[in-house]
A and B are shown apart, each in its own frame.
Chain A
Amino acid sequence: MTSPSETPAERAADLQDERLVRTEGLRGAVLAFRQRVRGGDLGSLPVIIGLVVICVIFQILNPNFLSANNLVNLTLQCAAVGTISIGIVLVLLLGQIDLSVGSVSGLAAAILGVGLTQLKWPVALAVIVALVVGAAIGYLYGLLFTRFGVPSFVITLAGLLAFLGLQLKVLGPNGSINLPYDSWIVQFAQATFLPPWAAYALAVIAAAALFLSDYSRSRRRRKAGLSTGALSVMLLKAVLLLILLLLAVSYLATDRGLGAMFLLFVVLVVVMNYFLTRTKWGRSVFAVGGSVEAARRAGIRVNRVYISVFILTSTFAALGGLLASARLTSASLSSGGGDTNLNAIAAAVIGGTSLFGGRGSAWSALLGILVIQSISSGLTLLNLDSSIRYMITGAVLLLAVIIDSLSRRSRASHGQA
């Protein structure tokens, strides 16, 4: 690390401006974080605090809340709607919305049910057909949006109705189809849990991957003559993550363990996070969400970005619908109905993705759905019915939107709008 007495030329290329408040090591990292939060860049902080508060309250009200059994259930309940919510994050990053994810997920469930039972398709074929239909719907939205400039709100509202109708049509007069319990997708969603050793190994791999990615980045930065984070911070981060994951895994292992479906969801979040933050495509998504005109003038093919995101959103919706129906072993009129749509959208917003476009993270799908399912699960344990659950979830959503707006205003007043 550099000492304050050295000349500017010896400093890393990015630390030469004398106005920069130079922060180094662990203390520096904490200071920088505090400064960011004060400036209105809250990131995931509100939702993490909220999650802790929710856990504490429900644990006090009902000691079963944090039981391993309940937490395993909670993770499984998160996966389906959480997967849909990843798509919502993408479309929100563009400053658009997709209101039809519930209907599309229900349609996917109907395709799976009819394909498996009436058409005798192999599971893989039914899954692929459902995902392709989802992608095609997104492509249609993208074309309508880019060709005719119809607001996505209206296009997807029409889609909500139209694909709900298609779902009913596909299901036919029965209205409800039970999936064969021994099909692999049902087994995957209901009965597949990682053996403890695999879960521990995964925890170690995740922490090691975090450290290696931080470390190799800092090596590349040093080679490029740029400042690097302190090794102590990198190690601390990785060790904290390792401890957290090991604790979680060992606790869940006292019940059924880590569900494969939840793991799939988390892997999807990590993969989407990579694409959003580390690729040219992700950069263009943020650019379009920040300023369409600027993106266009920078040579970004804006229409392609819109279409790709609408396709991904509908495909994630279809995948979420498949997971949900596999978990419930049925595809019915109510698949994707009820609060699926609203929970998926609320999760993205509660997780910290801005409704105004250009700000957010794939992680908000995970954090947001954890909040929503925790509330739902806690209230169920307290034997409160869905009327109260809806009202509380609504209040939390409102709170999240208010925090989003306030932090936007705070950024504006700190000159960072």
Chain B
Amino acid sequence: MTMESAVADTEGATREPVLSLKGVSKGFGAVRALTDINLDIYPGEVVAIVGDNGAGKSTLVKILAGVHPQDSGTIMFDGQVVSIPTPTASRALGIATVFQDLALCDNLDVVSNLFLGREIRNGLSLDEEEMEQRAWSLLRQLSAKIPSVRIAVASLSGGQRQTVAIARSLIGEPSVVILDEPTAALGVAQTAEVLNLVERLRERGLGVLLISHNMADVQAVADRVVVLRLGRNNGDFHVADVSYEEIISAITGATDNVVTRRASAHAGSASAAAAAADASGTGTVESGITEDFRTHETPAPGTEENPQS
């Protein structure tokens, strides 16, 4: 089977996607923020979601984080169809979301922030020693550079704060971590720190969904790039096989010819897959599309006429 062989070289190909979206749509009144979005995330894979402002990235994050539910389409987690009505439900499933505004309590120290809402107790009292020890072992695993966990979060640098926020998401032993623009406010060194952290998450076998505007970051750390444009899937590339220009053109839609053909092919096969309602089958179809992109990719944008537009 060609599709099977197409995905055989990708990591996690033999596994089921840990998180899988099929035909997910979401509207806000007259605005169709997301239309028929398909997305698979495999364990140990970093998937970057890129797209212009208003492309629907944050809306997608919010659906997965349980901030607001989708209007239609299905979300599958570990092969089960699930609904995510609340943030608590999202967390209970094993989805950890690090929002762009990190939501840390500046007046509390690192340990308190890491365990906020999930404090370890020893009877009535907090077990500070256990929490501090776990905090250190977690930060060590992430090779995080935090000098002391007993200083207020307010005195940390931007990268360190991002680190604390990401480390906090791991306390609940999630299987998927969603990072919304984790490097947006960071300097060069701090960005590198966070990207190292993302790689560490992948090594732990987590599925990582990385929202980013920064193409350099995406190419540095992601395994796959999913492009959103005007609320629709507009490409799904293996990072190793795609050039910067190709991603940019998919984001901006500058090469409508290439992109729309693939996008429409993508949408067609994805909705067929949704109809089939077979988890393993859809995973391979999705990756098959990726293969399709690779083998037939036009090298330069704008060289091919678009027959249907």
- Residues on A lying within 8 angstroms of B by beta carbon are 13-14, 17, 19-20, 39, 217, 220-221, 223-226, 278-280, 283-284, 286-287, 289-291, 293-295, 297-300, 358-359, 411, 414-417
Contact = CB atoms under 8 A, between A and B. Distances in A.
Interface string B48-92: 000000000000000000000000000000000000000110010
Contacts of B107: 286, 289-290, 358-359
21 contacts: A13-B132, A13-B136, A217-B129, A221-B129, A224-B132, A226-B133, A278-B124, A280-B119, A283-B112, A286-B105, A290-B106, A291-B104, A294-B103, A294-B105, A294-B116, A295-B116, A299-B87, A299-B88, A358-B105, A415-B154, A417-B154
A297 B99 contact: yes
Given A289-B107, A293-B103, A414-B155, A283 B119 contact: yes
B133 A224 contact: yes
A99 to B, nearest CB: 24
Contacts of A295: 105, 116-117
Given A14-B136, A280-B121, A299-B88, A287 B116 contact: yes
Interface of B: 87-88, 91, 99, 101, 103-108, 112, 116-119, 121, 124-126, 128-130, 132-133, 136-137, 145-152, 154-155
B160 to A, nearest CB: 11
List 7 tightest A-B contacts by C-beta distance, closest first: A298-B117, A290-B105, A290-B107, A299-B117, A358-B107, A298-B116, A294-B103
Contact of B108 (A20, A39, A221, A290): A290
B138 to A, nearest CB: 11
A14 B106 CA distance: 20
A415 B118 CA distance: 27
Contact of A283 (B126, B145, B151): B126
Given A283-B126, A411-B154, A297 B103 contact: yes
Contacts, number: 102
A220 B149 CA distance: 17
Contacts of A20: 147-148
A294 B105 CA distance: 6
Contacts of B101: 293
Given A17-B145, A225-B133, A226-B133, A291 B103 contact: yes
B147 A283 contact: no
A299 B112 contact: no
Nearest to A20: B147
A289 B107 CA distance: 9
A220 B125 contact: no
Contacts of A17: 145-148
B135 to A, nearest CB: 9
A226 B132 contact: yes
Given A14-B150, A226-B132, A300-B116, A278 B104 contact: no
Contact of A299 (B91, B136, B146, B148): B91
B105 A226 contact: no
